[in-house]
């Protein structure tokens, strides 16, 4: 009875060990599948080759064909990578530490990336074989190549955008007057700030003009042509140059806008524009102006800021035969007149009325004695450069 129990206990122990070994083998096979890796052994003296199941999967080889012997392995490697395999095998049989390399094989007409780690099977007389771990890293390398290509394309896009921005800024600088070159007129101080959009793709057609007219008055104008990029800049150049030429006639601002409207309607296809055009007489301090769908100027007087009442006027290019009205504003010593484009006050993230209120509040703090610094401070108080549109700010201070 004791013998039977003893024999049973031994049998149960053996069964337990077999079960543990089977579970370990199952887990090992599962781990190899998850990592897409397997192991192989090549015995140099006997030529025996042993592969785990996953290596057959990696090579796309039927287990019935048996493993690939070491001398035949190069035939399955992409020709350009055979040298890498040769260096790996040479390093493995010459040393005692594991060595690794990557090369490609063809599986069903498809290139696969493999990483192979080899270490020698050592005996007293030297290495008798090689043990290797083989992993298919095709998915990882494809992802890395895709990321590298994406980074390259992004870099090219950024470089092209920077070049486009440089070209457009240079073109616009050549077209617009230098903000630092201000006419020297009695009783008047002028300062201009032109702030390009922060986003390259949205460079627009804002413009300004401040130049003496033949009769001694000062031609003042700001405007904004619809659209972005080079087409808007080209249309802006035509409109501004046309205004400078037409102003030589000495005709009032509303008549100049009539002519500019006809120009936009008949020459600048699919374009509209806004503008304020006026003449300032530095002796009488009378500002005679008209507007075409443009934000009204701000007048700062005795520490209070307000928007001037607008005369009637539609967008340039919107309609024909609708005359522009002329407004007369009598300025006083100490007054500050601010003309601007909508990029100064308009933001995607806020209502334009909020921007106008900010502009009025900031205008009150512009010091008459330092107009240059005052415009910088005003731009900062309103929110800095507009990310999506150019902004032009023209300040005219009336001296005693």
* CATH number, domain containing residue 378: 3.60.40.10
Residue 274 host element (H or E) = strand 273-281
Look at residues 111, 136, 161 and tell me which one is the last residue of a structural domain.
136
Structural domain contains residue 95: yes
Q: Show the domain range for 54.
A: 36-136
Structural domain contains residue 162: no
Polymer length in residues for the chain: 400
Backbone angles phi, psi at 257, to 5 degrees: -65, -35
Look at residues 136, 161, 192 and tell me which one is the last residue of a structural domain.
136
Q: Clarify whether residues 231 and 131 are in a common domain.
A: no
Q: Clarify whether residues 74 and 191 are in a common domain.
A: no
Q: Clarify whether residues 245 and 329 are in a common domain.
A: yes
Q: Clarify whether residues 229 and 378 are in a common domain.
A: yes
Q: Clarify whether residues 103 and 207 are in a common domain.
A: no
Q: What is the CATH number of the domain that holds 131?
A: 3.30.450.20
Q: How many distinct structural domains can be found in the chain? A: 2
Q: Clarify whether residues 262 and 366 are in a common domain.
A: yes
Q: Clarify whether residues 271 and 375 are in a common domain.
A: yes
User: Which pLDDT tens digits describe the chain residue by residue (400 residues)?
Assistant: 334 334 444 454 545 556 766 666 666 666 666 668 899 999 988 999 999 999 999 999 999 999 999 999 999 999 999 999 999 999 998 887 899 999 999 988 899 999 999 999 988 888 899 999 999 999 999 999 899 999 999 888 888 877 877 776 676 666 766 665 566 677 889 999 988 775 544 566 889 999 998 898 999 999 999 987 778 888 988 999 999 999 999 999 999 999 999 999 999 888 999 999 999 999 999 999 999 999 999 999 999 999 999 999 999 998 888 899 999 999 999 999 999 999 899 888 888 899 999 999 999 988 877 899 999 999 999 988 777 788 899 999 998 7
Place of tokens 């936009």: 264
Q: Clarify whether residues 270 and 194 are in a common domain.
A: yes
Look at residues 115, 136, 157 and tell me which one is the last residue of a structural domain.
136
Contact 207, 178 (CB under 8 A): no
CA dihedral 12, 15, 19, 22 (to 10 degrees): 170
pLDDT in tens, 185-229: 778 899 999 887 755 445 668 899 999 988 989 999 999 999 877
Q: Clarify whether residues 108 and 216 are in a common domain.
A: no
């Amino acid at each position: 009875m004791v013998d039977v129990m003893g024999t049973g206990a031994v049998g149960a122990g053996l069964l337990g060990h077999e079960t543990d070994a089977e579970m370990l083998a199952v887990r090992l096979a599962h781990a190899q599948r998850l990592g897409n890796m397997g192991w192989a052994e090549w015995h140099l003296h006997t030529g025996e080759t042993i592969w785990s199941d996953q290596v057959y999967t990696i090579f796309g080889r039927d287990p019935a064909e048996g493993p690939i012997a070491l001398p035949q392995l190069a035939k399955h490697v992409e020709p350009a990578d055979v040298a890498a395999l040769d260096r790996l095998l040479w390093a493995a049989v010459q040393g005692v530490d594991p060595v690794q390399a990557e090369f490609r094989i063809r599986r069903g007409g498809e290139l696969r990336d493999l990483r192979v780690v080899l270490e020698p099977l050592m005996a007293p007389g030297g290495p008798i074989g090689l043990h290797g771990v083989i992993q298919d890293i095709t998915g990882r390398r494809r992802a890395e190549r895709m990321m590298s290509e994406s980074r390259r394309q992004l870099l090219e896009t950024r470089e092209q955008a920077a070049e486009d921005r440089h070209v457009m800024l240079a073109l616009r600088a050549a077209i617009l007057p230098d903000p630092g070159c201000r006419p020297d007129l009695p009783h008047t101080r002028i300062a201009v700030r032109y702030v390009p959009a922060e986003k390259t793709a949205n460079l627009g057609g804002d413009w300004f003009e401040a130049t003496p007219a033949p009769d001694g008055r000062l031609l003042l104008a700001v405007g904004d042509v619809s659209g972005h990029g080079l087409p808007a800049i080209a249309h802006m150049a035509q409109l501004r140059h046309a205004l400078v030429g037409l102003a030589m006639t000495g005709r009032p601002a509303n008549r100049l806008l009539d002519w500019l409207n006809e120009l936009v309607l008949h020459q600048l296809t699919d374009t509209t524009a806004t503008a304020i055009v006026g003449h300032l007489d530095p002796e009488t301090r009378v500002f005679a102006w008209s507007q075409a769908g443009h934000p009204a100027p701000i007048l700062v007087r005795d520490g209070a800021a307000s928007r001037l009442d607008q005369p009637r006027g539609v967008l340039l290019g919107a309609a024909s035969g609708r005359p522009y009205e002329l407004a007369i504003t009598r300025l006083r010593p100490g007054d500050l007149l601010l003309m601007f484009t909508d990029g100064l006050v308009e933001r995607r993230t806020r209502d334009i009325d909020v921007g106008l209120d900010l502009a009025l509040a900031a205008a009150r703090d512009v010091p008459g004695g330092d107009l240059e610094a005052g415009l910088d401070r005003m731009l900062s108080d309103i929110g800095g450069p507009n990310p999506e549109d150019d902004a032009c700010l023209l300040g005219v201070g009336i001296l005693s």
